[in-house]
Structure 1
Amino acid sequence: MDDDQSSKTRGNAAESRYRDLLQASEQRLLRLRQTDGRYAMVRLVLFAAALVLLSFAFFASPGVWVWVIGWSFLAGFILAAILNEPVRDSMEREARDNQVTERLLARMNRDWEALDWKVARKQLATVRFSEHQKDVADDLDLLGKTSLYQFVSMAGTTIGARTLADWLAGAAEASVARERAAAIRKLAPRHEQRHRFYSLADHVGRGTGDPDQFVRWAGEDSWLQQHRWMLTWAKISAVLAAILIALLVGSRIGLTPTSVARLALLAGAVLVAVNVVITTVMLGPVHQIFSIAMASRDSVREYRELFSAAQWLSDDIEERDLHGSPGASESTARLDHLQQVLLHDPERSARTGMNALQRVAAMGSMRSSAATFLLYVPLQIFGLWDVRVLEKLEAWQRTYGSAVPGWFDAFGELEALMSLAALRDENPDWVFPDWVPQGEPAVFQSVGLGHPLIRDTSRVCNDVQIGPPGTVLLVTGSNMSGKSTMLRSVGLNVALAGAGAPVCARRLSMPSTELATSIRVRDNLAEGVSFYMAELHRLKGVVDHARELSARPDRVSLFLLDEILQGTNSRERQIAVTQVLQHLIECEAIGAISTHDLELADEPALMKLAHTVHFRETIEPDPDGNDQMTFDYQMRSGVSPTTNALRLLEIVGLGRATEKESS
C-alpha cells in the first residue's frame, strides 16, 4: 500500500472510530432510558401509595401502622429519586458525548448545516479583531458558517473559541507555531481523552459557569463586604435557632415550662419567616454568584479535570510521523508555562485552586442535589446556609481571584490545541510546514497544496510557489477556472500553519509571515464610497501593512490580490496595478495576484516582475450537441490561452441576438 492509500486508510479510520463511538453511545443511552423509565414507574407508584395512605391516616385515624406504612412509602419514593439521579446524570453525559461525536463527524464531512453555527456565532461575538484582520478573515472565510474556524474548532467555551480565532487570524510566526505543533503532536493520539475533554468543555461552556463569567466574578468586589449585616444575622440566626430548638426539646421532656415553649415556637416561626423572606427576596445575587462560580460540585470537578489535561503536554507519546517532522517529545518553554500555571505551581495553580473550590462547592451543592436537599432546607431556614457558603466562597476569591485570569488564558490555549489535535488525527496525510530560517530568501513553496474546506473527494491540489521578494505570482485564467480558490488555498493554509496545525499539502515550506488580502471588496453606499474607491482603500491598507513589516526582519508580508481595480478602464488598470505591485515589491513583500485580463499579463513592467501561471477550461459538446464547459482546476505555467466570458453568455442563453430577435 502506497503513502496516499495509507493516509486515506487512517483518515477513514478516524471516521469509522467516530461512527463506532456514536453507535455504542446510542445503545448505552437506550439502556439508560429504559432504566430511567422503570425508576419513574417505581417513583410514581410509591408516591401515589404514600399520598393515599397518609391522606387516609390523616382523615380516618385508622391506627399508627397506616402512618408507618405511608411514611415508609414516602421514604421509598425519596430513595428511588436519589438512586434515579445518577441515571439521569449518565443520560445527560451520553447525550453530550453524542453531540460531540456528531460534531466531529460533521467537521470531517464538511457538513456545514450539521454544525451548530448559532453556538459558534455566540462564542465568536467576543472576538476583537483589527480592521486589517477583519478584512483578511472575510476574504479567506476564516470565520463564519462555512469557514476555517467551523472546520477546525472543537472549542466548547468562549475563551477557547476566542483563542483559536485569534490564532487563525494572527501572524504565522515560526517559533510560536513550532511550539503549538509540538503540543498538537502529543495530543493527537489521545482519542478517548480528547473526546472526554470536548464533552466537558462543551458542558461548562453551555452552562452559567462559562470561563468568561467566572473570570469576571473572580475580579469583582465582595458581595458580603457590601452586606455585612447579612453574615452577622446568619450567625445570630443559627444561635437563636439552636436555643429555640433546645427549649422545644426541653418542653417535651419536662425541663421547659409550657409557656416558654409556646414563646419559643412563636419565635421560631418568626425566625423562619424572616429567613424565608431574606432567601427569596435578597439572596438572588448570591445564587447568581453560585451559578457562575460553582454551578454544581460536578462543574468544579469538570474544570479541575479540564485543567489536568495539561499534563498530557509533557508525556512522551509514541506517534508515527509519516513526514519526518520533529518527534513528540520536543520540549518548549510555552508548554512548560501552561503546565506551570494549570498544574505545577504549588500555591497558585489552577488545579490547587479548583481543589480548594471543590470543598466549597460540596457545601453549596446541597441546595441542588436531591440527596441533600432535605438537609439543606432546615440549614437555610434556620441559619442562612447560603450566606455561610458565600463567606467561604469569597475567602477563596480573595486567595485565588487574581490568578484566575491567567488560569483561563492558559486554558484557552489548551482548548485551542485540543481542537487542532483533532485536525491532525483526522487528516494524517496533511503535513506540518517547514519554516524558512530568518535571513534566507522568503519563499512560500508547496507541493500538492489544496483548499482545506473542500472535501477530499472534490479537492484538486497544485504545486504553488510565491516569492522570493522582488517577484510576484501572476495567476491568469478565465472565469470560474479556480484562480480565487487557489489564492484562498494559500491564505487558509498560512492561517493553519500559524496556528501550529498541519496544512493541506504534501509538502510546504514558508517564512514567518502575515497575510494581507484584497479578494472580497464591497462598496459602501451609506458612506458614499464607490466600489473603485473601496478597492483603493483596501489596497492602501495592504501596502501600508507591507511597509510596517518591511521594518521587521523576523517576518514578511504575504499579499493575495484577486481581480483588483476592475472599476476602471483596461489601460489605466494596467498602469495602476503595476504601480501597486511596485510599492509591494519595494517593501520586499511576496504575494500572488489573479486576473482574467490578458492585457494585464502582457504589461511589460509587470512581465519583469511576474512568474505567470494559468488555469483553463475545456468546452466539449454533450450527447445533445450542446456546448458544456468543464474545468480541471490544474495550474499550468504561462499565460492563459483562452477566455470564456462570451461562451458563458451563450451557455446561459444570453448570446448574440438573432436578426429576428433584433427586429
Structure 2
Amino acid sequence: MIDSNANSPTDVGSSSEAHSRYRSHLARIETDRGELKRRDRTFGTIRVALFLLALVFFVVGYAGDLPAAGPIGWVTFAGFILAVILNEPLRDRLESLRRERSVVRRLIARVERDWDRLATATLSRKLAEVDLSEDQRDVAGDLDLLGKASLFHLVSMTATTPGIRTLASWLTGGAIAAEATQRTRAIDALAPLRDERLRFYMLSRKVAESSGDPDRFAQWASGDRWLESRAWLSIWSNVSAIAASVFVIGIAGGALHMIAGDLARASLMGLVALGFINLIVTSVVLGPAHGIFSIAMASRSAVADYAELFTAADWLPTDSGHSSVSMLGQIRNTLLSGERSAAEGMRALQKVASAGGLRQSAATFLLYLPLQAFGLWDVRVLGRLEQWQSQYGDAVTGWFEALGQFEALVSLAAVRDENPNWTKPDWQPVSEGHANLIATAIGHPLLGDEVRVANDVSVGPSGTLLLVTGSNMSGKSTMLRSIGLNVALAGTGAPVCAEAFSLPSMELATSIRVSDNLSEGVSFYMAELHQLKQVVDHARRLSTKPDRVLLFLLDEILQGTNSRERQIAVVQVLRHLVNLNAIGAISTHDLELADEPELSAIAQTVHFRETIIKDDAGNDTMTFDYKMRHGVSPTTNALRLLEMVGL
C-alpha cells in the first residue's frame, strides 16, 4: 500500500479564519433568501387572487346584472397592480442575493480548492481566448497557471473579459520587481476593504452576464465612422422629416376642410410612399448600422451596468499619504476623472442608448415605427453615436485596460486577506554572479493547508543549478512547481506561500509536461528537444537584459533516448543555460546523472525519499514525508512499486 500523506504537513498561512467568515456570510444569505422567498410566495398568492377577483367582478359587472360590481373590479385590479409594484423590489433583492451567494460560494470554493466548482465553462472559454506567446503557453501548462485546478482559479475573482485577460497575463508574464512592487502596494490597500470588494465582485458578474463584448466595442470606438462616408443618409433623413411634416399638415388640413380634398389625398399618398421608401432604406442600407448598435449599445442596461462598474472606482483609496496611490490613482483617474474618463463617457453613451433603445423595447416600439418610417430615426441615433465615437473613441482601450487592472487587483486582494501568514516577496537587484532565489518554508499554493508540506530551498547564484533527486512519487515535480507557482504569484504582486521569499526580477521557462504529436510526425524525444530549445533561446534573449534573469525548471528531461546519450545531452543543455547566466532547478531519478563530473561541479544536490514499513498484516507500506534533504537520494523504489502493484 502506498500512503502519500502519512506524516503531518507544515502549515504555511492557514486560511481557516477566512473560510469560517465566508461560511457564516453564506448562512446569513441563505436565511435572508428563505425569508424573501416566503414573502415572494405570499405576494404571488395575493397577486393571483386579486387578478382572479378583478376578472370575476368585471364579468359580473359588465356581462351580468350587477353594475356595481364593475367599479369594485377596477378597485381590485388597482390592488393587483399595487401588489405587482410592491413585489418588484423584493424580486430585485432576491436577484441581488442570488448573485451575492454565487460570489461567496466561489470565495469558499477557492479556499477549499474545489476545482470542479471553480472551473466554469464560461471562464474556461474566456481563458482559452487569452492571447499568449508560445513560451507563456508552455509555462502555463507545465505549472498549472491557467487550466483546471490552476493558480488562476485559486486567485481569480474576475468576471469580465478585461479582468480575466489582465490577471492571466500577469500570471504568465515575467516577475519584474518594479511592476510587482506597485501591485503589492495596491493589493495591501484593497485587502482590508472586504465589503467594497464583495460589492465589486457582484457588480462585475452582473456586467459580465448582461453586457456585450468589450473587445468589439473598443474596436468599433477606435475604428472608422460608417455614416461619415454616407453623408447622403443624413441629408435624406432630414429631407424625410421635413417632407413627412408637410404631408401630415396636408392630411390634417384636408380633415379640417382647410385645403382641397385632392391635395389632402396627395399628401396621404406621399406619406405612404415616403414610408415605403424608408422601409427599403432600412432593410437594404441600414443593416450595418444595426450591427453597430448591437456592438456600441447592446442594450440600455448593458451601458448602464458598465457606467456603474466604472463608477465603482470611487471607493479606491485617495489619501495622498497612501503608498498605493500611484497605481490605484492612475486607475481612478482613467475611470473617473476628467471629461474623457470612462464614467463620463459611459454617461454620455447612456443618453444615446436611451434614444437607440426605442426599437428594443415593446413599450416604445410603436413610437419607434413612425419615427423610423418618416424620419429615419436610426440614422439620427447613428449620427449621435459617431459624435460620441469622435470624442471618446481613442480613450476606450485605456478604459478597459484600467478596468482589467482594477479587477485583477481586487481579486488578488482577497488572496492577501485570506492568507495573512503568506509573505510578501523580498525583491533583490540583479548583479553579475549574484542572482539568487531563496525561500524559507515554501509550499505548493494549490494544495490545501491540511496536506501542504513546506521546505527551504535555494536556487542560484548564476553559474550553478539545483539538482533534485529522488524516487518516484517522492515530491520532486511538486517542488519544481512550488518554486514556479510562487514566482508567478510574486510577479502579480500577491503574497507567496512561504515564510520568506527573496528573488530578483526574472522570467520563467519550463520543460515539465511534454507530449509527442503524431499528426505532425513529432516523436516524444523531438518534442522535448523543441521545448528545451525554446528554454535556451529564452535564456539567450534575457542574457542581454541586465535587469532580470531566467529561471528554468526542468523535470526528468530527455527521457526519450538511451541512458548514456541522455546524460550527455542533459549536460549539454545545462551547459548552455549556465553559460547564459540563467539559474534554475532540474529533477531526476537517474542517480548516474548526479555523478556526472561537469554537473556535480556546478550543482547543489538535494533529494526526497520514501520509507517502507510493514503494516499489521505484514504487507509493505510505502510512505513519503515530502521533506527535502541535502545530497543524492540514497533510495530507489521503481522495482518495489512494481512488486507492490502485483507485477
TM-score scaled to structure 1, two decimals? 0.85
Paired residues of 2:550 and 2:583 also in contact (CA < 8 A) = yes
SS at match of 1:391: helix
Paired residues of 1:81 and 1:370 also in contact (CA < 8 A) = no
CA drift at 1:183? 0.9
Are 2:99 and 1:96 aligned? Answer: yes
Are 2:23 and 1:19 aligned? Answer: yes
SS at match of 2:458: strand
What is the distance in 1 between the residues matched to 2:68 and 2:247?
31
Partner of 2:6: none
Partner of 2:422: 430
**Letter paired with 2:513:** R
**Letter paired with 2:20:** S
What is the distance in 2 between the residues matched to 1:313 and 1:66?
60
The 5 Å alignment of 1:244-259 reads: none
Paired residues of 1:478 and 1:642 also in contact (CA < 8 A) = yes
Structure 1: tracts of 5 or more residues without a match: 318-327, 655-663
Give CA-to-partner distance per residue, 1:107-157, whole Å, 9 cap, x none: 111101112431112212331222222211111111111111111111111
Paired residues of 2:311 and 2:335 also in contact (CA < 8 A) = yes
CA drift at 1:363? 3.5
SS at match of 2:623: strand
Are 2:515 and 1:522 aligned? Answer: yes
Partner of 1:535: 528
What is the distance in 2 between the residues matched to 1:602 and 1:30?
68
SS at match of 2:559: coil
Aligned equivalent of 1:158, options 161, 181, 197: 161
Partner of 1:304: 307
SS at match of 2:124: helix
**Letter paired with 1:17:** R
What is the distance in 2 between the residues matched to 1:292 and 1:114?
31
Paired residues of 2:442 and 2:457 also in contact (CA < 8 A) = yes
What is the distance in 2 between the residues matched to 1:243 and 1:515?
73
CA drift at 1:209? 2.0
Partner of 2:641: 648
Paired residues of 1:614 and 1:637 also in contact (CA < 8 A) = yes
Partner of 1:510: 503
CA drift at 1:433? 0.2
Partner of 2:180: 177
Aligned equivalent of 1:607, options 600, 609, 616: 600
Partner of 1:323: none
Shift in alpha-carbon separation, 1:54–1:387, aligned structure 2, 3 A:
farther
CA drift at 1:545? 1.4
Paired residues of 1:189 and 1:425 also in contact (CA < 8 A) = yes
Paired residues of 1:82 and 1:371 also in contact (CA < 8 A) = no
Paired residues of 1:136 and 1:169 also in contact (CA < 8 A) = yes
Shift in alpha-carbon separation, 1:234–1:100, aligned structure 2, 3 A:
farther
Are 2:213 and 1:221 aligned? Answer: no
Structure 2: tracts of 5 or more residues without a match: 1-9
Aligned equivalent of 2:488, options 495, 505, 519: 495
Shift in alpha-carbon separation, 1:391–1:365, aligned structure 2, 3 A:
same
Using the TM superposition, name which of 556-565 and 71-80 deviates more: 71-80
Are 2:192 and 1:199 aligned? Answer: no
The 5 Å alignment of 1:359-370 reads: 359-365=351-357
Aligned equivalent of 1:448, options 426, 441, 447: 441
Paired residues of 1:171 and 1:514 also in contact (CA < 8 A) = yes
Give CA-to-partner distance per residue, 1:310-360, whole Å, 9 cap, x none: 45554359xxxxxxxxxx92146544433332222x222212212222333
The 5 Å alignment of 1:181-330 reads: 181-225=184-228, 231=234, 235=238, 286=289, 288-316=291-319, 329-330=322-323
CA drift at 1:386? 4.8
**Letter paired with 1:553:** P
Using the TM superposition, name which of 271-280 and 456-465 deviates more: 271-280
SS at match of 1:567: coil
Give CA-to-partner distance per residue, 1:253-304, whole Å, 9 cap, x none: 8878999888888877887788788778876655554443334444333323
SS at match of 1:464: strand
Aligned equivalent of 1:349, options 341, 346, 356: 341
Paired residues of 2:425 and 2:501 also in contact (CA < 8 A) = yes
Paired residues of 2:428 and 2:504 also in contact (CA < 8 A) = yes
CA drift at 1:472? 1.0
Are 2:393 and 1:420 aligned? Answer: no
Paired residues of 2:43 and 2:87 also in contact (CA < 8 A) = yes
Give CA-to-partner distance per residue, 1:484-523, whole Å, 9 cap, x none: 0000000011111111111111110001001111111112
Shift in alpha-carbon separation, 1:363–1:98, aligned structure 2, 3 A:
farther
SS at match of 2:224: coil
Aligned equivalent of 2:564, options 571, 590, 605: 571
What is the distance in 1 between the residues matched to 2:311 and 2:140?
33
Paired residues of 2:319 and 2:325 also in contact (CA < 8 A) = no
**Letter paired with 2:382:** L
**Letter paired with 1:131:** E
Aligned equivalent of 2:391, options 399, 420, 425: 399
Q: How big is the alpha-carbon RMSD for the aligned residues of Structure 1 and Structure 2?
A: 3.8
SS at match of 2:340: coil
SS at match of 1:557: strand
SS at match of 1:203: helix
Give CA-to-partner distance per residue, 1:537-567, whole Å, 9 cap, x none: 2222212211221111100111111111222
Partner of 1:621: 614
CA drift at 1:161? 1.0
What is the distance in 1 between the residues matched to 2:54 and 2:233?
39
Shift in alpha-carbon separation, 1:433–1:390, aligned structure 2, 3 A:
same
CA drift at 1:481? 0.2
What is the distance in 1 between the residues matched to 2:201 and 2:606?
43
Shift in alpha-carbon separation, 1:77–1:388, aligned structure 2, 3 A:
farther
Give CA-to-partner distance per residue, 1:31-67, whole Å, 9 cap, x none: 4445555555566567667888889999x79999999
What is the distance in 1 between the residues matched to 2:584 and 2:459?
6
Larger relative contact order, structure 1 or 2 (CA cutoff 8 Å, min sep 6): 2
What is the distance in 1 between the residues matched to 2:101 and 2:234?
45
TM-score scaled to structure 2, two decimals? 0.87
Partner of 1:324: none
